[in-house]
Amino acid sequence: MKLFLTSTGLSSPKIIEGFLKILNGVPEKTCALVIAYGQNEIEEFYIEESKKQVQNLGINTTSLNMQDSFEINELPNFDVMYVCGGNTFSILNKMREVRIDEFIKSEVARGAIYVGVSAGSIIAGPSIEIAGWGTGGDENEIGLEDLIGFGFTNIAVSPHFDIYSQKEEIEEFKKKVNYTVQELTDEQALVILDSDKYIIN
């Protein structure tokens, strides 16, 4: 299991350095699938920024917009599964609709690195409930009832963490769940390699 969970993707020199260390190979010989579901101009902007972050490393990048038609059975194997941000509830729901969730799980089980950006990091955990928590949480506008995440880890990531405005809210959330919650600022990444885990600051 190789998880690289972030708030803003490969957005700083330290995070990039940490990612390349895990990649343990030549970027030009690496293939990444960037999975996105943008529902407005703001989300589309950040999705494009995520794509550029991967491409700028020299990685061979394939983009998959879940709003477009595609054939799961025609997708090749990838070294990196890069899941972009947006509304967490809508993204997970769309993943299930188009069945890309099962493809992601099989690729990660095969050894691909899972890179999460914001919502993508939340989805990797046991539940996405934290996505809607607090004043800055996502709105569950589609009324998604099944909030079970991919379960790659028993840690729920709280991205874009601001200690000044969110500390009390997150502490309250921690009291109501039976799994670990990890706050991540925009400058941090949570790396999980099998049983080993650490934070990049």
Give me the mean pLDDT over the 11-23 stretch: 95
**pLDDT given at position 25:** 82
**pLDDT given at position 150:** 98
Q: φ and ψ at 94, to 5 degrees? A: -65, -40
Q: How confident is the model at residue 158 (pLDDT cuts 50, 70, 90)?
A: very high
Give me the mean pLDDT over the 114-126 stretch: 97
Mean pLDDT of the chain, nearest integer: 95
- R_g (Cα) of the chain, nearest Å: 16
Give me the mean pLDDT over the 133-139 stretch: 89
Q: Where along the chain do its domains lie?
A: 2-200
What architecture does CATH give domain 2-200?
3-Layer(aba) Sandwich (3.40)
**pLDDT given at position 31:** 97
